[in-house]
Chain A
Amino acid sequence: MELTANYFLGLSAALFIIGLMGVLIRRNVLIIFLCVELMTAAVGITFVTFSRETNTLDGQAFALFSIAVAAAEAAVGLALILAMSRRTRSVDIDDFRSLKD
């Protein structure tokens, strides 16, 4: 079996959808956050695949940038989650609903 780019694209799409479903289904804030990180990482695979496929370097650079941005997101996100769980003593996303119509 030849390992073509389609397999990598399929893998990344699968990971992306798993992350997406995780965001929709899970209730723990940290898990949701990690699921989003999973989606970002999945996109990284797509980038690297395309980089290989089109024989250009832009995609690899983009993958690196996305990792850097994800790290920044993690810093901000964890700080916010910490601040929130201090207020409510909970990490259940459904507990955070004082703002609504």
Chain B
Amino acid sequence: MDRYLVLIPLLPLLASGFNLLVSRKYFPEKAHIFAILSVAGSFILSLLVFREIYDNEGPLHQHLWSWIASGRFHAEIGLFADQLTAVMLVMVTFVSLLVHIYSVGYMHGDASFYRFFSWLPLFVFTMLVLVLADNYLLIFFGWEGVGLCSYLLIGYYYKRRSAGNAAKKAFIVNRIGDVGFGLGIMLIFTTFGTISFAGEHGVFSELSHGDYSTKTLTAIGLLLFTGAVGKSAQFPLHVWLPDAMEGPTPVSALIHAATMVTAGIYLVARSNPIYMQAPDAMMVVAVIGAFTAFMGATIATVQNDIKRVVAYSTVSQLGYMALALGVGAWVTAIFHLVAHAFFKACLFLGSGSVIHGMHEEQDIQKMGGLRKFMPITFWTFLIASLANAGVFPFAGFWSKDEIITGAWESSIFPRFGDLLTVVALVTAFISAYYMFRLVFLTFFGKPRFDESKIHPHESPSIMTLPLVILAAVTIVFGAVGYPPDAGRFHKFLEPVFATAQHHEEAVIAETATHEEEAGETGAVAEAAEHEEGHHISNETIITFAVISTILALGGILLSWLVFMKRRIDPVAFAVDHPGLYNFLYKKWYIDEVYNAEVVFPMRRLAMYLWQIIDVKVIDGTLMGVARGFGDLSQGLRTLQTGLVRNYALAIALGMVLIIGIYFAAFSSLFR
């Protein structure tokens, strides 16, 4: 199977190229066929890879070729698939396939249908390269590739000004993170002498043999996480994600919910051996994750654009994943990543279906009562919402619950864990609230739109089929994670993080001894004992399961009271508390702060640089140099007289000069 690994990314690439070059001219209406077939092929191959890894437990490795070889620096093109890759592969290709199918209905009649179906497989290609890469440079290639495709697809409706701006914003904000990632790769190379992580001489095996300073590893971890902050929309670089909703809805579902935004999470999880030796870096990851989760959830409570609510919910859920990574619950992070991919894709596709049925209306205040008009969309949306809210027994419940217990049990920074747990619990409550606010406002109550003008209708079956499949997966997916922390999913992924666990224990032991010296023997010994065998006690699990279920139901209840029973008037509340409302509605004023603190001064600086430094100093110099070269060029031109005699003279003179100089300088004849 390892010989066919390359086919997985190659198929979508071929489809993309084919659509761009051939379909565009000869059958632009049929472009989707090639795209869907190629992604389906990748999906089947991914399943085969998954099965092989499941059976053999050994990673697959395919070395393709050497890219640049110069001295110590070797850039290889190689593919690597272990358990983590296998999970990502299946998830990416599965969601991609469904989104491709869905898009056939959603993009039907679009003027540049083929363009959409050239870029979407191209995205799948780059995403698969990212997941399959066996070294950081190739990950970076995929990383930039998905960024580029995301840019192209956000700006798909390029005639709309806001879409162009959103695309630019996404690109620029991501660039900030990418710089960090790039620096991280360089630091990895200078530290380990290699950029490949897998294999015998890879970073991870070097790490387990050699002794590397914690400071360097922390720096690497933070730099890599900077990249993840950009790509996975963590605070403070999350601002691009809600704006990215300007793209077509299937794109939002695929790129900005299920796959690309999880690349940062994947990167950190992939680098877990580095992080396990850099506890400070992990703490940063956890804190930023928890904060992002909380902030995203609060903003989502007051937004009115259906896609923006879901987008902020994505930001919040990505924060959960980062929190899980930060507290060392690696498997849980991936578990939540996959579960989230399914229910969030379902939510986005569902909102796409709503928008489609409502004739491009996105404001939930102008919806209501859609339950009757689009039953399939409603039921699937409801299931996904329950999952997002973390209600038993849907996929989101299990993973979110594990994150909360993970934070509670987190041993790396004992005192901090409690605070993080509280934040996570509060966020769970808010999540349930905003999710059901969305559901109630959209599907329940009386229609708030002009029924004479708008006739909502259910989407065609090519769009509802992916919804149903995703909803079904959302229902059953939780089962692979049962029992919590020891489910099939965890067993499968364990080998990837085995070294991590090992180090974690070492770190605990170390902290334990340190603190023992400090004299706090009792409490710490208890904590260390707790960690032994890595099983969280059943009481803890059940306690937190009960707490989070109560909180989720409480959130739903509050939402029901507010929006169904109208016990509390949200408008009156907003009027009474204008500060809070505006704070949330304006998304914590983060964009405004950026404008005032970053964009505006930068523009002033840029104006200054432009008008003074650039125009006067640099341009002046450059123009001078350019004019100098121009004059030189004109001068040298006159040598080219067109006369053979002069040309021959140049040859002869050159010969005489060379021979003369050489004889004078080197030969002993003239000495």
Contacts and interface: CB of A to CB of B under 8 A. Distances in A.
A100 B641 contact: yes
B637 A94 contact: no
Contact of A93 (B638, B640, B644, B652): B644
B638 A101 contact: yes
Given A101-B637, A101-B638, A96 B652 contact: no
B649 interface: yes
Contact of B642 (A20, A23, A27, A98): A98
Contact of A97 (B638, B639, B641, B649): B641
B648 A24 contact: yes
Given A101-B637, A101-B638, A20 B652 contact: yes
Given A20-B652, A24-B652, A100 B642 contact: yes
A101 B644 CA distance: 13
B643 A97 contact: yes
Interface in A47-68: none
A101 B640 contact: yes
Contacts of A27: 645
A92 B642 CA distance: 13
A96 B640 CA distance: 13
B638 A94 contact: no
Interface residues of A, number: 13
Contacts of A24: 645, 648-649, 652
Contacts of A98: 642
Contacts of B649: 24
Interface string B624-661: 00000000000001111111110011001000000000
Nearest to B633: A101
Contacts, number: 30
A75 interface: no
A99 interface: yes
B518 to A, nearest CB: 83
A24 B637 CA distance: 21
A27 B649 CA distance: 13
A38 B105 CA distance: 83
Contact of B640 (A23, A32, A94, A100): A100
Interface residues of B, number: 12
Interface string A78-98: 000000000000000110111
Contacts of B645: 24, 27, 93-94
Contacts of A93: 643-645
Nearest to B634: A101
B169 to A, nearest CB: 49
Contact of A96 (B639, B644, B648): B644
Contacts of B642: 96-101
B631 to A, nearest CB: 15
A45 B234 CA distance: 83
Nearest to A93: B644
B654 to A, nearest CB: 13
Contacts of B652: 20, 23-24
A98 B649 CA distance: 19
Contacts of A97: 641-643
Given A101-B637, A101-B638, A94 B648 contact: no
A30 B312 CA distance: 86
A13 to B, nearest CB: 12
Contacts of B638: 101
A99 B648 CA distance: 16
Nearest to B637: A101
Interface of A: 20, 23-24, 27, 32, 93-94, 96-101
Interface of B: 637-645, 648-649, 652
26 contacts: A20-B652, A23-B648, A23-B652, A24-B645, A24-B648, A27-B645, A32-B644, A93-B643, A93-B644, A94-B643, A94-B645, A96-B642, A96-B644, A97-B641, A97-B642, A97-B643, A98-B642, A99-B642, A100-B640, A100-B641, A100-B642, A100-B643, A101-B637, A101-B638, A101-B639, A101-B640
Which 5 A-B pairs have CB atoms at the shortest separation, nearest pair first?
A100-B642, A97-B642, A101-B640, A101-B637, A93-B644
